[in-house]
Structure 1
Amino acid sequence: MKRPRFLLLQARNPGDPAEAHEQEAFRDVLGVEGDALRPWSLLAGPPPRKVLDEVACVLVGGSGEYGIGDAPDHLWLGEFISFMGELADEGFPMFASCFGFQALVAARGGRVETDKSRAEVGTFELHVTEEGREDPLFGPLHPRFFAQLGHKDHVVEFPADMVHLAGSARSPYQALRIPGKPVYATQFHPELSMRRNRERFLGYLEAYSQPDMPDTVDDVLAAFRETKAASALLRRYAHEVLPAYL
């Protein structure tokens, strides 16, 4: 059996159909099959070193039922945030999206808050920052690009030792890099195509259609569009950034 190259950390409850959906999405955008991507449930705690030694890169996806603010109620969540900080300090290759982005920010001293009035669900336009313009992955996306999102938690205090790469009108902190290390994270979902994000939205329709959300279901569905540049980020990371650290 071939060793898995990527380790996907997931925070999904048993039976959540988004678990398999997320695995398929990451495999598709990375162009890998089978055990080239190994899933790991964070509900069992962070992966041990022997598992990390078998992979080249850690990936983190969304979280379904959980948010960073739930850490006091879930031991595994606090352990995960600490683990993200340790990985970043080590410089272990990593690309984290959404929940992973928030956990990495929290681990490095930033702050995340829930604000449904600024929730972003569906396809949104993002802008590349001046720092992002100089970044090898985000520079080609300058000045603006569209991405798939699904979140109500927002970074409100950004760590000083991170590079701010992209933002949006509702949520100014959308992407980061740790200088000198192969560590990237995004609030948006580069693993999701328009089709997959639409499927995800319909799967969580009850949660997304609450009256305190800023967009109606019809508005979200009407705004979906293809996001090929954002969806290419993970494969570009694997081909353009990761090899130098293997």
Structure 2
Amino acid sequence: MRRFLVLQLRPETEAADEEFGAFLQRGGLAEADVHRVRLDEGPLPALSLDDYAGVIVGGGPGCVSDPPETKDPLEARIEADILSLMPEVLARDMPFLGCCYGMGILGHSLGAPVGKGRYGEPIGGVDCAVTEAGAQDPLLAGLPGTFRALVGHKEAVEALPDGAVHLVASGPCPFQMIRAGANVYATQFHPEAEGVNFASRIAIYKDRGYFDPADAARLTAACLAEEITVPQRILSGFVRRFRV
């Protein structure tokens, strides 16, 4: 079986390890099933996409819409590395699942506007609705038409990229899940996360501008109270569909 390539964009070891564990657990993966690359530890290594069943990209504190001169140098290099892979992913129609930051990466790569002015969402749960096109998508087949998911992002895709398919929406953020081609997906919500994961991330990122640090305890309690079950079925469905 070919492995899945898991690319992580988080510079914080605690956050990266927690996210990686969530990908394994909720995706139904063993460590032997994946090639994990933390881009904060060094440049994107030489690799061939022929070696992988699919690519999974995690979240992170960076924003593709930030002006270049304001980007942290490490986050700028991480972003440039993942963006450098996207033309081949799109040309191949390579199985790809970008999570949260991965939505901005895919949207930017497809030429869509990505920004902070319209559809950012605070930390917490949100009601998501599957579109008509989404109901026909193999990753969403058999899932309920509405579900709860965990979100927390400053920027968002502001218009559907040309040629992309709109799969899932929410009231605060219309583009919660999209697809390019037949196999390239991105979600604005976190398909790997349950409340316990967000509780950890709230502690790690409380000073990164996502929320008032004084609200950390309230947000943690709210996330822990959420019952999140459907998003992880999308992640595990991606793995099952493309496992070869």
Q: TM-score category by the smaller chain?
A: 0.7 to 0.9
Q: 1:226 to 1:85 in 2, by over 3 A?
A: farther
Say which is worse superposed, 34-43 or 185-194, in terms of deviation.
34-43
Q: 1:17 to 1:89 in 2, by over 3 A?
A: same
Higher RCO (CA < 8 A, seq sep 6+) = 2
Q: Distance in 2 between matches of 1:82 and 1:59?
A: 15
CA shift for structure 1 position 82 = 3.5
Superposed CA RMSD in Å reads 2.6
Provide the TM-score with structure 2 as the length reference. Answer: 0.85
CA shift for structure 1 position 25 = 0.6
Task: Deviation per CA, 1:194-232: give whole Å up to 9, x if none.
Answer: 221222223322333328x9x885256335412111111
What residue in structure 1 maps to residue 230 of structure 2?
A: 229
What residue in structure 2 maps to residue 194 of structure 1?
A: 195
What residue in structure 2 maps to residue 218 of structure 1?
A: 218
Unaligned runs of 5+ in 1: none
CA shift for structure 1 position 10 = 1.1
CA shift for structure 1 position 58 = 0.7
Q: Distance in 1 between matches of 2:120 and 2:236?
A: 29
Match of 1:5 among 3, 6, 11: 3
What residue in structure 2 maps to residue 24 of structure 1?
A: 21
Q: Distance in 1 between matches of 2:142 and 2:216?
A: 33
The reply to whether residue 46 of structure 1 matches residue 48 of structure 2 is no
Letter in 1 for 2:152: G
What residue in structure 2 maps to residue 59 of structure 1?
A: 56
- The residue correspondences of 1:59-208 to structure 2 (distance < 5 A) are 59-64=56-61, 66-70=62-66, 72=68, 73=71, 74-115=76-117, 118-179=120-181, 181-207=182-208, 208=210
Unaligned runs of 5+ in 2: none
Identity of aligned residues (%): 30
Question: 1:71·1:78 contact (CA, 8 Å) conserved in 2?
Answer: no
Q: Distance in 2 between matches of 1:26 and 1:71?
A: 30
Q: 1:216 to 1:12 in 2, by over 3 A?
A: closer
Q: 1:71 to 1:80 in 2, by over 3 A?
A: farther
DSSP 3-state at the match of 2:242: helix
DSSP 3-state at the match of 2:163: coil
Question: 1:82·1:107 contact (CA, 8 Å) conserved in 2?
Answer: no
Q: Distance in 2 between matches of 1:6 and 1:117?
A: 31
Q: 1:82 to 1:161 in 2, by over 3 A?
A: farther
Q: 1:142 to 1:84 in 2, by over 3 A?
A: same
Task: Deviation per CA, 1:145-198: give whole Å up to 9, x if none.
Answer: 11111211111022121110011111110101123x322110111111222122
Question: 2:86·2:106 contact (CA, 8 Å) conserved in 1?
Answer: yes
Q: 1:115 to 1:198 in 2, by over 3 A?
A: farther
Letter in 2 for 1:69: S
Question: 2:119·2:172 contact (CA, 8 Å) conserved in 1?
Answer: no
